[in-house]
Amino acid sequence: MITISVCMIVKNEEKVLARCLDSLKGLYEELIIVDTGSVDSTKEIAARYTDKIYDYEWISDFSDARNYAFSLASMEYIYSADADEYLDEENRKLFAQVKQVLDPQIEIVQMYYGNQLANGTVYNFDKEYRPKLYKRLRQFVWEEPVHEAVRLSPVIYDSDIVITHLPEDNHAKRDFKLYENLIKKDGRLSKKLYSMYCRELYVSGDEQDFLNAESYFKHIILDTELKPDEVKMAECILAKCAHFRQDVTSFFTMCLHNTADGNGCSELCYELGTFYEEQKDYEEAMLWYFNAANETESIMNIHCGGDWALKKIADCMGVLGDKEQQQYYSMLAREWKTPAV
């Protein structure tokens, strides 16, 4: 049986920490909690479960904090947990089974991260695999009887364990400030963070969040190294900013750029539908909502091409007096489900 260190970074998690730690009881040999500046009872709650509580001076870098937590671990494997997640009883049993039989050659165990779409996250699946359990010390192994080479890719096991993500609050405002600080510091974001910023804006951003981001996207859209989907993301952000500012010329410029190649995205079609709905041109609005739902793909927020668009079609049908079609599209919106992982 393997041994496990649970490593967590926390701040002001008094509402959810006990729920998380209770769900992990009996599944680990070591619990390490790194506090990044709590001013509530988080540390007092943590002390009921472990004496390995460490203070960390926050430098606006989650990776640095997690690396510090991992550096304190001493068991064979490290389980990375967040305070706003927990294991139900069925998945506690699955976790215990994995712990009993895990082949020591496996270096990463992936687990399903569930309940994603209920919390305004940047993800377009309600359940997806994430690496959660890591071998602390990696052994380098030579492979192949001839032309031998050291195995560089980790050995990964996809488990059936489902972790329920149930946060008390949406963290978007915190994330937007981190993105803005990184842009001020470095002038740009990594490819990964660029995509995450776009998605998080479209899922959780309000008018001010978009307008705060506008200057960055006006600059970055001129980057010739952006991939087509990355350009389309920027066009959607800038179209929405122009819509907020009631700059019709800039709004339609971005819309035309986005659809010029015949491969527009659901987010832009949905925005056009919103524009025409505001003008009380419900037939034109319905056309664009239909395009969002049926003729294009989402690249940031899957709801723009799903239940949101279908609900908007129903609303327009209602205004136009077609009650039968209104009921039909309302039903489609209610029954709409996200694609499988």
Q: pLDDT (tens digit, 9 = 90+) per residue, 32-49?
A: 999 999 999 999 999 999
Mutual angle of helices 172-186 and 191-204, in 10-degree steps? 140
The boundaries of the domain holding residue 63 are: 4-165
**Looking at the predicted structure, is the pLDDT value of residue 111 above 60?**
yes
Question: Which pLDDT tens digit goes with each residue over 274-296?
Answer: 999 999 999 999 999 999 999 99
CATH of the domain at 108: 3.90.550.10
The answer to whether residues 129 and 45 belong to one domain is yes
The pLDDT value given to residue 170: 67
Reported pTM? 0.76
The pLDDT value given to residue 24: 97
The answer to whether residues 37 and 149 belong to one domain is yes
Q: Name the least confident of 41-55, 73-87, 138-152, 258-272.
A: 138-152
The answer to whether residues 140 and 10 belong to one domain is yes
Q: Is 248 exposed, middle or buried (0-12, 13-18, 19+ CB in 10 A)?
A: exposed
Mutual angle of helices 307-319 and 282-290, in 10-degree steps? 160
CA gyration radius, the chain: 24
**Looking at the predicted structure, is the pLDDT value of residue 160 above 70?**
yes
CB environment 106-115: b (16+ within 10 A), e (fewer):
bbbbbbbbbb
**Looking at the predicted structure, is the pLDDT value of residue 193 above 80?**
yes
The mean pLDDT of 205-218, rounded to a whole number, is 96
CA distance 313 to 303: 13
**Looking at the predicted structure, is the pLDDT value of residue 341 above 60?**
no
Question: Which pLDDT tens digit goes with each residue over 293-316?
Answer: 999 999 999 999 999 999 999 999
- Residue 183 included in any domain: yes
| Number of domains comprising the chain | 2
Instruction: Tell me the two tokens of residue 197.
Output: 């910023």
Quote the DSSP letter at residue 211: H
The answer to whether residues 300 and 234 belong to one domain is yes
Question: Which pLDDT tens digit goes with each residue over 130-144?
Answer: 999 999 998 888 788
The pLDDT value given to residue 334: 93
Q: Sort residue 241 into left (φ over 0), alpha (ψ -120 to 50) or beta.
A: alpha
The answer to whether residues 99 and 235 belong to one domain is no
Share of the chain above pLDDT 90, in %: 80
The pLDDT value given to residue 165: 86
**Looking at the predicted structure, is the pLDDT value of residue 120 above 70?**
no
